[in-house]
Amino acid sequence: MESLAIKDSAVLDSLLKRGLMFLSRNKVDFVLARVSSSDPVKRAFYKKGFSPKEGVWDSHIVYVRYSSHVEDSVLCDTSRWHVSFGDCDAA
pLDDT band at 89 (very low <50, low <70, confident <90, very high): very low
For all residues of the chain together, what is the average pLDDT? 77
Q: Record the pTM.
A: 0.54
What's the CA gap between 51 and 16, in Å, rounded?
Answer: 15
| pLDDT digits 0-9 by tens, 45-78 | 888 888 887 876 666 667 778 888 888 888 888 7
What's the CA gap between 19 and 36, in Å, rounded?
Answer: 19
Domain ranges of the chain: 9-90
| pLDDT digits 0-9 by tens, 18-50 | 989 998 999 888 887 777 777 778 888 888 888
